[in-house]
Each structure stands twice: as structure tokens, then as C-alpha cells.
Amino acid sequence: MSTHPNTRTQNLVNWASALQYTDLPAPVIARTKDFFADTLACAVAGREHIAVQSMLHYAKQMGPTTGKCELIGFPDVKTSPAFAALVNGGAAHVVEQDDLHNRSMMHPATIIYPTALAVSQDVGASGQEFITACVVGYEFACRAGEYLGKAHYEKFHTTATTGILGAAATTAHLLKLRPSQFLSAIGTAGTQAAGLWQFLLDATHSKQVHTAQACAGGVFSAYTAASGLLGTGDILEGERGMGATLGNLVTTPEAIDRDLGRKWSILESSFKWHASCRHTHPSADALIALMADEKVHYADIESVTAYTYKAALDVLGLSGEGKTVHQSKFSMGFVLAVAAKRGSAGLTDFTEEALADTELRELQGRVSMVLDEEIDAAFPEKWLGRVEVRTKDGRVLSRTVHVVKGDPGWTLTREEIESKALALAEYGHVKDMNAFKDAIQRIWRLEEQDKIEKFSFA
Amino acid sequence: MSTHPNTRTQNLVNWASALQYTDLPAPVIARTKDFFADTLACAVAGREHIAVQSMLHYAKQMGPTTGKCELIGFPDVKTSPAFAALVNGGAAHVVEQDDLHNRSMMHPATIIYPTALAVSQDVGASGQEFITACVVGYEFACRAGEYLGKAHYEKFHTTATTGILGAAATTAHLLKLRPSQFLSAIGTAGTQAAGLWQFLLDATHSKQVHTAQACAGGVFSAYTAASGLLGTGDILEGERGMGATLGNLVTTPEAIDRDLGRKWSILESSFKWHASCRHTHPSADALIALMADEKVHYADIESVTAYTYKAALDVLGLSGEGKTVHQSKFSMGFVLAVAAKRGSAGLTDFTEEALADTELRELQGRVSMVLDEEIDAAFPEKWLGRVEVRTKDGRVLSRTVHVVKGDPGWTLTREEIESKALALAEYGHVKDMNAFKDAIQRIWRLEEQDKIEKFSFA
């Protein structure tokens, strides 16, 4: 139904709808499984959060409670693909440990895997179909994020706004939609793109609502496209589409369809090692390395200056002092204080006790952020960070970080992924750790599954 | 959870959550019932459209199919409040006969009534509770639309973006949320606000998706707020809220909470008499009146110039020649040709036969739109129109319209509402017209119902 049959979005759709498992290079398949394990663990780590509990309650209220699709960490409830995607998509984004794709400034995994799992269980997809659909979802979510870029990210939570395209694409692939239907699904998804940053100001739960609804909206878009609902044909580049309306026309059109089948978005995504907002990671890594190398102790620090890019200032600047555990992960001062005091900024470093720690709060007040033009020019291609530490004995020390742990250039081993996953599962109070470990092991052999199994555990 | 406890949004929430049926003036109650009857008829008129059929199919696929909530015109299916609101909210917006609130540039009824009906049936609300919740929903949807104004409407389909606030407010009132929960519902709704105009360019089905998802998203927002999910406290005026992000800061803040309890949005809304985009109505009325008064016949017309406001040019300019019945209602040329030839622009005037009528297509090509600065300055307070007709014998005739039929200043009588409703029901191929008529009669006595009944019919 596109009025522009040769658009980049059409190209991407044509490529995606024809993509098969056998087209995927081995590293793409391996990484797809890696991020699935990581996401499963993120979801279970988030399951006790009130936002997730609330959405779970909603799913039960709406029904059904006996569908084909599982809710991760809630083995007693089954539901529809829409609500499974909704709840799992919210849960996986709670603890801020899900992956990040640099250039698009979005978190694809928390959208793509919950959607793929829900729809696969609904239609009885195989492990290979699941993997292929996830790869497709990454391409739409990340390419659209790159297309919309910084001007969009300043106003919108890109994880949600382009995530919904990824969810629609993943679903469309699993439903084996024809290219015209696939394009409709993308159009319907894009016109629903939403997600504002206002929640950062008062530490409310919209971040999880955004990912949850992006998943559910993507499912809706592809299922309705399959039964004839027409979506607009050029939702990205059209005169009144996402680029013109949500991106202020400052876009990178070639990102939509360059190097299809040669450049894989999923290989460009990063694991999160620290449990804080990804914008704090370069500075945290720089500070930890500086303190170790220069033998600076927590008590020695007079002040810290974090040189960073504008998007970090924009997002982190909204979170105030960090009143809640979640909001504290968006305070550069608090994250650097935690990293300095504990040598890490992991899941168990951000607690109610930490919020009440006057020592942390004191150093937090002596951390400042400064815009660095060189670092800003490199963003979002590179997420760099530099910290400058003034010690109480008058030294001024500096450290720059180019690659943080978890980035494609310094990725996690399977052992590290497993150990991160186990820590997440413990954080989520998983009772049956053997069942959880077994689920992770089954993910490593996902391509052998004729039908996507249940991964849930108590 | 607001960081700004004395915001206008908080004021509106405080007022709305305390509003009771006994606070409502009699004309407000009467008009609420009028628009309900009008909306019920719009929904049944739209039920056969592929977009509605597709969403109905989706609701069945997701399930349940045996819930407490009815789907208008589909008596065999019952579902959850989320999916009842979704399907009915899409259906009521298909034939472009639902109401319009001028200053907000949005269509409240297609959002508010489907949501109120679904949630009332879920919670067992009374007729009086239903009416009060609808009045509340109108205030949020229309006031937010006025607040965001023209700059927002240029980019976004306001019916969807502020409609979701209305749906959330209607639901919140029916769920009897406390003010803090009510405010959370509004925050969660606003961060999901979406709806682009791109679909106008290729005559696709997003307009119905927008209203459907606004209803469902509003239901989600209030139900989850009831179980503890926190929405941001100042989603309208906050630093990263709707005004700043979706409205380009060109807003009318006082619209949010002025004259609460003295000015009623539902009394300001207009019935649609013509079945085309509301932006064409002033010109259509002017042309019909001019032709009657000046005894101009269809064959006499050389050309027509429609002087209008910028928003009309923006929206109508996207629809090209009108390839589909729905799109043809957004072509000023086609609508004026229809009005000139048939003396009306009603539901049965827009057909596949009309699309193929070369006489209509020929006059369509001789209609032009021109921006009129005076008319534009009055918009959206007043939706004025002036047409200038050149006749083949060289006369130049002009007519201005200040109030169109259906406006609050020239509203429909109950008899006209009923006759419009019957025409809509016939258009929707209602089999049991007595059941339909009975449903309308029961609406006139809605406040007597202890529990909202079923209104569905085959």
C-alpha cells in the first residue's frame, strides 16, 4: 500500500521477510542466543517490581489466564501473546541490565525477546524460526533508531519508539507475513510510537510501560496486518512519518537499509555489565580503572568531573538526586560514588541501604558533569567517557575510556553471561535455581528445538 | 507522585475524582446521552470495515471470547474491557460521523463512550456513574487538546494523543481511583500518546488504530494505576511532558483547569451532519446554501474556491484525489463536488459509485483551497468557511458560514439524532432494527439503569 514503492523501508521489509535461518552467520546465531539468556535473566530479576506485578495483575484481570504463552518467572499463569509480550517486556527492563545498541541509543533485547517468545509459543515456532525473527527485530529497531538519531532521542525514549517496529517485525516474521502485510505491520507499529522522558523527573514507572507497550503494540500490528488491516507504507521517511514528525527531520536515511545481510545490528549491541544507566558506564569504568592504577582510595577523593556527551547530560540531568533505587541508577554522581566506594556498580550495589548511605551521598555531591565537545561529536557512534579526579592531597588525575566491558569490542564470555544471569536470578529470588540453569543451558542449544519450549521456573 | 503538587493537571484530577452525578447540570446529562446514542450508531455503521473486522479477529485470537464486555454489533462475542474498548473505539471512528470538539480539534466521543461502556460492564457501573465518567473523560481529552493546540495538531492526530488521557480519566472515575492513583493513570496514559498523519497519504487504516489504541491504552493506564503502577505527575506541563515534547511548547496552559464545573467540554462538542472530514463542513454548508439561494445548478459551476484555515490545508492536502471512500471524505474537491451534485454530503453520498463518477471527478479538479488569514486567526475557536463560486456565465458568488449544522449553536434535536442513528444502523446492515431502536430509547433513560445493560444487536 506504499505510495513510494521503492522506499528504504520497503527494501528493509523485502530483505527481512525473505531472511532465513540458513542466511545467518554463526556469530549472529551465537550472539542471538547470548542476548536471549541475558534477557531471560533480566526479566526474572525484574519480576518482583511493583510495575511488573501491576501489569501481571492487569493481564490476569483482562484474561485469559490459560493461554499458550508463558510469563517469565510466573509459571502458574499462561496468557495471550499480547499480554505475555507486555508483561515480559516490562519485566526485562526493570533492573537496567539489558543490552544497548550504541548508534541507535536503544535497548533492543527487552523488546525483541519477550515478543519473539510470546509469538513463538502462540504459533509453535521452532528454535531456528525464533532466532531468525529476533535477528530481524534487531534490524528494524536498531536501524530505525539510527535513522532517527540524537534529535529524536532528546525528546523520546527510543527503546519504545523504534522498539515497537522491532516487535512488529519479529512478529511479522514469525507469522510469515507477505512483504505487503509485513510493510503494513511496520506502518501500523510506527504510527503508535510513543514514550516520553518525563517519568525521569519523578522516578515513576513509565520506562517499563514503554517497553511493555512497545511489545504489545508490535504484536497487535503484525497480527492485524495478517488479517487485512492496512498500515501506512512509508512510516519512517514519509512526509508525515516518524522522521518528519518525531525526528525533526534530522535523520540518517541510509541507516535504514545499508549493508543488509552484511552488517548485523545484533553484533553491534552491548551487554550491560554495570546495573546503571548506560550513559554512566564509560565514566564509571574510567573511574574504577583510574583508582586501581593510581592507587586512589575512596577517602582520598576531593571531587570528580565526568566529561561526557549532550545526550547523557539531557537524560541524567532529569533524575535529580536519585530518590529511588531505579532513579539512583540515572544519577551520575550516585553511580560514580557507588563505583568509587565499592569498585563496581552492579545489581547488588544499588539498594535502599545505599540510598541512605551518607558517605555515598556526600561524594555524590562532589561529582559534576561537563559537556566535552570531542566526546559529543563521537556520540552515538562511540560512547566515550573521561573522568578527572581531584584528590585531597592536591593531585589531578584523568582517565579516558574508549571501550567499556560488555561492548562488542570487549564482549562477555559465555561464562560471564552465565554468571551475570545467575546473579540476576538470585536478585529475582528464583527458588528453583536448577530449573533456571537448565533454561540457560537449553538456550545454548536453541536451534535444535522443533518448538520453542517453556522457559519458566518458580 | 507529582514533583509539582500544585500543577493544573493535579487541579483537574482533584476536581474530576470528586465529581458526582448530582454535580452535573441537566443539559450536560442530556448531551452525554445524545452523544452516546450517536456513538453507538457510528460504531455499528463501522462494524463491517476491514480494519474493525481485523481488530475483532485480533481480540478473538488473544481472548477471552467470553468476558463481561460487549462488542457493539457483534452480539456473539464478549471480551475483556481492554479489547471491547479497542474494537468499539476503532469501529466508532470509521464513517467519520462521530462528534468533534472545535477548540481541541479532537473527536472525543469515539474514545470516551467505547471506554466507558467497556469498563462499566466490567465493574457493574450504574447509568449515572457511566454518565459522570463520560463527562470527566471529555474534560481531559478536550482540555488537553486545547492545551496542546494547533502546533500539536499539525503533527499529531489529537483525537488519539489526548484521547488516551480521556480514556484513562473515564476509566479512573469508574474504578473510583483516589486522586494520587488518578494522577498516575493520566501520567501513564500521556507517555503513551501517539498518532501520526502519515496514513492520510496512502489511505490506510491508522485513524481507526489510533482511536482503538487510545481506548485500550487508557484502560491499561487506569487499571494498572489502581494496582500501584506509578505514572508521572505532570505529563502535560512537565519539562519533558506532552506540551514540551509533542506541542513544541506553543500551548495554552490555562485551558487545562479553567472554569472547572462551570464550562463543560461536552456542551461544546458538535455533531457531525456531513459524513466527511469536519474541515470540509463549513465549505460544504456554504456551497449548499449558496447554490440554493442563488439558484446555481451543478452544471452551472465553472470553479469553486474554498477559503479556509491552515490546519484544513495541512490535513486535507495530504489525501490526494481520494482513492478510497474513506480518503475521499478528506478531499475538499471531492466533498464539494458531492455536495454540489447531491445537495448533501451524507453517509450514502460517499460510495464506490461516487468514486467512479467522472462528473464528480471533473468538478473535483476545479475546486481549489486558499488560506484565508482572517479565518485562520479565528481557528480553532471558530471553524469558519467561505466559498467563492465562478459560474460558467461569468458570475462570481460568495458565501460565508459561521455555524454549521450540528454545532452547539445549531445542534441536532433528539429526532434528528434518532434519524441520523437509524441511517447509520441501516448503513451498517443492522438486521434487528427494533433491537437497535430499543437500544437508543434505553439510552434516553440511561440514568435510571442500576447497571449498564447490553446494547448489542445483530
Please report, for the domain that includes residue A253, its CATH number: 1.10.4100.10
B193 touches chain A (CB under 8 A): yes
Please report, for the domain that includes residue A331, its CATH number: 3.30.1330.120
Q: Is the same domain home to A96 and A241? A: yes
CB A108 within 8 A of CB A138: yes
Q: Is the same domain home to B116 and B154? A: yes
Structural domain includes residue A413: no
Structural domain includes residue B407: no
* CB-nearest partner of B191 from A1, A83, A196: A196
Q: Is the same domain home to B424 and B323? A: no
B371 touches chain A (CB under 8 A): no
Chain B (231-260) residues lying within 8 Å, Cβ to Cβ, of chain A: 231-235, 238-242, 245-246
B227 touches chain A (CB under 8 A): yes
Structural domain includes residue A456: no
Give the DSSP per-residue string, B107-164.
Answer: --HHHHHHHHHHHHHHHT--HHHHHHHHHHHHHHHHHHHHHHHHHHHHHB-HHHHTHH
pLDDT of residue A456: 80
Cβ-defined contact of A58 to B223 (cutoff 8 Å): yes
Name the residue with cell 478510497. Answer: B324
Structural domain includes residue A411: no
| Number of folded domains that form chain A | 2
ipTM of the complex as predicted: 0.95
Structural domain includes residue B411: no
Size of interface A-B (CB pairs under 8 A): 216
**Residue partners of B117: CB distance under 8 A and separation at least 6:** B69, B70, B72, B84, B85, B88, B130, B452, B455
| Domain housing A205 | 8-269+421-448
Residue A304, min C-alpha distance to chain B (Å): 28
Q: Is the same domain home to B95 and B175? A: yes
Structural domain includes residue A384: yes
Q: How many residues does chain B have?
A: 458
Q: Is the same domain home to B297 and B428? A: no
Chain A (376-435) residues lying within 8 Å, Cβ to Cβ, of chain B: none
CB B385 within 8 A of CB B400: yes
What angle (nearest 5°) sits at the alpha carbon of residue B120, between those of residues B117 and B122?
Answer: 110
pLDDT of residue A457: 83
Q: Is the same domain home to B204 and B154? A: yes
Q: Which DSSP symbol is given to B458? A: -
Cβ-defined contact of B64 to A61 (cutoff 8 Å): no
pLDDT of residue B457: 83
Q: Is the same domain home to A189 and A252? A: yes
Q: Is the same domain home to B288 and B265? A: no
**Residue partners of A415: CB distance under 8 A and separation at least 6:** none
Structural domain includes residue A118: yes
A69 touches chain B (CB under 8 A): no
Cβ-defined contact of B192 to A195 (cutoff 8 Å): yes
Q: Is the same domain home to A112 and A261? A: yes
Cβ-defined contact of B196 to A220 (cutoff 8 Å): no
Cβ-defined contact of A198 to B241 (cutoff 8 Å): yes
Q: Is the same domain home to B443 and B332? A: no
Q: Is the same domain home to A208 and A176? A: yes
Structural domain includes residue B454: no
Q: Is the same domain home to A37 and A151? A: yes
Per-residue pLDDT for chain B (458 aa), expressed as one digit of tens each?
444 568 999 999 999 999 999 999 999 999 999 999 999 999 999 999 999 999 999 999 999 999 999 999 999 999 999 999 999 999 999 999 999 999 999 999 999 999 999 999 999 999 999 999 999 999 999 999 999 999 999 999 999 999 999 999 999 999 999 999 999 999 999 999 999 999 999 989 999 999 999 999 999 999 999 999 999 999 999 999 999 999 877 899 999 999 999 999 999 999 999 999 999 999 999 999 999 999 999 999 999 999 999 999 988 988 888 899 989 999 999 999 999 999 989 988 999 999 999 999 999 999 999 999 999 999 998 999 999 999 999 999 999 999 988 999 999 999 999 999 999 999 999 999 999 999 999 999 999 999 998 888 88
pLDDT of residue B424: 96
The grid cell for B425 is 444502523
pLDDT of residue B289: 95
Residue B71, min C-alpha distance to chain A (Å): 15
Rounded Cα distance between A66 and A78, Å, is 5
What residue of B is the nearest CA neighbor of A90? B229
